Amino acid sequence: MRLDKVNNITDEQLMIRIGTGDKLAYRMLMGRHLNSFLAFAFRLTGDQGEAEDIMQEAFVRVWKQGHKWDTSRKARFTTWFYRVVMNLSIDLKRKRKPSIALEEALNIETNTPRQDAQLSDKQMAIRLAKALDVLPERQRIATSLCYFQGLGNKEAAEVLGISTSAIESLLVRARARMAQLLAGQKEAFLKEII
């Protein structure tokens, strides 16, 4: 396969090649998408190890489903793959007990202004993750797809199998709820340190 042609191959064409057992096409597809989908799985589960397990299972499905890839389907590979990762994340999250580990934020020493900024950034990330985790499942997924994965409302709606106006409604409710949760966390944090 020539290098100049490699960059022009679509994900859908790679899926067709994967269907014929092409391991290079499989590695190329994985190289294109592993990091962004791993981040998506992490946002949905809140656990790096679980996110990695989900990605392993998701890419096994890519390999196994390659021969079934339908070139006439309207959905892009990424839309299909978001659904695979989303469904695996939902299944895993339903099976486990909820847990939040905050020890990591408490182990940072704050001797310099930069370390203070790191602690502040880490605390904000933890607050955001906790608020995101409290959102109803569809709002959390819509928020992750649109704000963290960078999908447009139309593509996020396709992933969730809903209309564009429904995704917009989910995002409005999610933003309002996150604002409430973050304000409440800030008040609770201030009460703790005073």
Six token digits for residue 44 = 């949905």
Burial of 93 (0-12, 13-18, 19+ CB in 10 A): middle
Q: Could you state, in order of their start, the residue ranges of all structural domains in the chain?
A: 1-99, 111-194
Write the pLDDT tens digit of every residue in 15-30: 999 999 999 999 999 9
Write the pLDDT tens digit of every residue in 36-80: 999 999 988 888 999 999 999 999 999 998 888 877 766 789 999
Model pTM score: 0.69
Q: Which fold has domain 111-194?
A: Arc Repressor Mutant, subunit A (1.10.10)
Q: Which fold has domain 1-99?
A: Rna Polymerase Sigma Factor; Chain: A (1.10.1740)
Residue 99 phi, psi dihedral angles, 5° rounding: -155, 140
